[in-house]
Amino acid sequence: MASDITPGHHSDPHRLNAPAAAAANQASPLPQKRTKTTAVQLAPSAGTEQRGPLIPVTDWNQRHPWPPIGGLRHLIFHAASNGFDKVIRRVGRRVLIDEAAFFAWVDGNGGAK
């Protein structure tokens, strides 16, 4: 019966009327756009060595021509056996390369001296 329906009342009980919808929109703002991280500089804490910038693996070749990303991924995969675990930092699923530790690792593993 159409006469039983009051103004602002909808057949869908989950649907909000206009004033309630406006209040709901103000209470929960839209999520902010995420920005891409290119490098992170960590401040040294007490008792830790100085670290270089942490560069995401996917951004490595924007800063350095060598090694290519595939080469870095090979080193990361075998990090436990080749000592590369001292170079990488894992934050969730993200893998970051400590730039200063990387070049120290290259020098210690037969790199140019």
The beta-carbon contacts of 31-40 under 8 Å, at least 24 apart in sequence, are: 38/62, 39/63, 40/96
Residue from 45, 49, 70, 46 nearest 58 by CA: 70
| Terminal CA-CA length for the chain | 89
The pLDDT value recorded for residue 43 is 46
Its pTM stands at 0.56
pLDDT in tens, 9-57: 555 555 555 555 555 555 555 566 655 555 555 444 444 566 789 999 9
pLDDT of residue 57: 96
CA 22 from chain centre, in angstroms, equals 33
74 alpha carbon, distance to own chain's centre? 21
Q: Which two tokens stand for residue 10?
A: 């909808």
pLDDT tens-digit profile of 49-89? 667 899 999 999 999 999 999 999 999 999 999 999 999 99
Q: What is the pLDDT of residues 91-112, one digit of tens each?
A: 999 999 999 999 999 999 876 5
Give the pLDDT confidence score for residue 42 in this predicted structure. Answer: 46
Number of Cβ within a 10 Å radius of residue 59: 16
- H/E stretch holding 94: strand 94-98
3-state secondary structure of 80: helix
